[in-house]
């Protein structure tokens, strides 16, 4: 969903600040995510992370799509983001030691 509101970048920055303040409190993080996201959005985020982890382990697009019940195009998008060596996925995988 694209919004024309010019304040969206400001709102995104505020959300990033909120997430940084939650750091370390798993219960608060879970509750906040459950409140701010729809159940479908939360599920989609969880699946996107699983795509990245599986691709990083060297699994094929087809096997990831089959295992997670997703389309190849969804997995391909995850792979495209994973190829960005300076992106958030790589930084998080590195931080987690994967």
Long-range contact set of residues 71-74: C-beta below 8 Å, sequence gap at least 24: 74/47
pLDDT at 1 over 70: no
32/59 same-domain check: no
Reported as a pLDDT band with limits 50, 70 and 90, residue 90 is: confident
Which segment of 4-8, 9-13, 32-36, 70-74 scores lowest on mean pLDDT?
4-8
Query: Are both 2 and 43 inside the same structural domain?
Result: no
19 and 44 housed in the same domain: no
22-50 residue pLDDT tens: 988 999 999 999 999 999 999 999 999 99
Q: Are residues 86 and 42 in the same domain?
A: yes
Is residue 14 located within the same domain as residue 60? Answer: no
- For residues 11 and 26, membership in a common domain is answered with yes
Which range of residues forms the domain containing residue 53? 38-98
Residue 4 is predicted with a pLDDT of: 80
Using pLDDT thresholds of 50, 70 and 90, give the confidence band for residue 82: confident
For the chain, what is the total number of helices (H) and then of strands (E)?
Answer: 6, 0
Non-local CB neighbours of 28 within 8 Å, separated by 6+ positions: 22
* Per-residue model confidence as pLDDT tens digits over 53-81: 999 999 999 999 999 999 999 999 889 88
User: What is the C-alpha separation between 8 and 2, in angstroms, rounded?
Assistant: 10
46 and 93 within one domain: yes
Q: Name the domain count of the chain.
A: 2
Task: Answer yes or no: do 68 and 43 share one domain.
Answer: yes
Same domain, 78 and 65: yes
Closest CA to 74 of 83, 86, 64, 88: 64
Q: Which residues contact 5 (CB under 8 A, 6 or more apart)?
A: 11
Residues 81 and 48 occupy one common structural domain: yes
Q: What is the pLDDT of residue 10?
A: 96
Based on the fold, state whether residues 70 and 22 are members of the same structural domain: no
């Amino acid at each position: 969903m694209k919004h024309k509101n010019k304040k969206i970048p400001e709102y995104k920055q505020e959300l990033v600040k909120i997430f940084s303040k939650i750091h370390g409190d798993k219960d608060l993080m879970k509750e906040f995510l459950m409140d701010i996201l729809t159940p479908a959005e939360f599920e989609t985020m969880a699946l996107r992370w699983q795509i990245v982890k599986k691709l990083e382990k060297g699994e094929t697009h087809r096997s990831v799509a089959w295992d997670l019940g997703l389309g190849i195009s969804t997995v391909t998008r995850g792979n495209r983001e994973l190829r960005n060596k300076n992106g958030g996925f790589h930084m998080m995988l590195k931080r987690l030691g994967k």
